[in-house]
């Protein structure tokens, strides 16, 4: 398979995964009273509006070229004014969960693509579907790590009593450094990857498709 096709197999799922993830945050916030993203033109599925030159283009490209074993990236965060939500503490939970939630739905969508492509003998779409399932599961689980400003951090903050939530939120300026440290010490291999693998096995048993071999052997191997 040509390098261009190999790049497309990963690039298209990554692009949709991270842009729709961000749009879901903005759409949910708008439904709950905060129209900041809508007013700034960010409540759209147009990928161009959500592209971050570093997170959407540079980092995934470097990971692909370095044969790191997985492709990851991020979009330009959709602005959310939590104080404008009708019930800021409660609604923060739903805004935070919207991104990972839509990634899980997209993983199911890509699973359907694999099934259809298998039946119609389109190997390229089978591989792209596998990349789509993997990327969306990875993005969903990674973002649910309870570290501010990741979505999981927002979820924890929304569930804690106000005083504890305030103290917890003070970690946000250091969240990136905490995350880098955890990644260095193997949080991906110890926490994220086992959960992703468990879901892949569960989806394989549910669908009758061998997602583990498709992704680990054909895409990551």
- 137-179, pLDDT tens digit by residue? 999 999 999 998 899 999 999 999 999 999 999 999 998 788 8
CA atoms within 13 A on the CB side of 102: 20
The span from the CA of 142 to the CA of 146, in Å, is 9
The predicted-structure confidence for 74-103, as pLDDT tens digits, reads as follows 678 888 998 999 999 999 999 999 999 999
SS3 content of the chain, % helix, strand, coil (to 5): 75, 0, 25
The span from the CA of 11 to the CA of 205, in Å, is 27
> Per-residue pLDDT for 73 more than 70?
no
Give me the helix-helix angle, 88-119 and 3-31, nearest 10°.
Answer: 150
Structure tokens at 215: 């992704």
The span from the CA of 193 to the CA of 212, in Å, is 12
Q: Give the pLDDT score at 86.
A: 94
Supply the residues annotated as catalytic: 22
Residue 75 near residue 18 (C-beta atoms within 8 A): yes
């Amino acid at each position: 398979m040509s390098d261009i096709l190999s790049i497309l197999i990963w690039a298209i799922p990554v692009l949709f995964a991270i842009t729709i993830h961000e749009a879901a945050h903005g759409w949910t916030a708008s439904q709950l009273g905060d129209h900041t993203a809508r007013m700034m033109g960010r409540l759209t599925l147009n990928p161009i509006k959500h592209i971050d030159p570093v997170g959407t283009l540079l980092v995934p490209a470097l990971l692909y070229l370095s044969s790191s074993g997985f492709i990851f990236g991020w979009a330009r965060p959709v602005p959310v004014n939590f104080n404008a939500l009708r019930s800021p503490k409660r609604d923060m939970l739903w805004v935070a969960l919207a991104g990972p939630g839509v990634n899980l739905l997209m993983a199911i969508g890509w699973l359907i693509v694999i099934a259809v492509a298998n039946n119609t003998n389109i190997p390229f779409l089978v591989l792209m579907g596998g990349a789509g399932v993997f990327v969306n599961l990875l993005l969903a689980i990674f973002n649910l790590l309870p570290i501010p400003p990741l979505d999981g951090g927002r979820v924890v903050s929304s569930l804690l009593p106000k005083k504890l939530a305030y103290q917890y939120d003070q970690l946000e300026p250091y969240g990136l450094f905490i995350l880098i440290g955890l990644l260095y010490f193997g949080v991906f291999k110890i926490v994220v990857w086992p959960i992703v693998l468990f879901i892949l096995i569960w989806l394989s048993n549910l669908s009758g498709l061998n997602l583990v071999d498709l992704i680990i052997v054909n895409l990551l191997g």
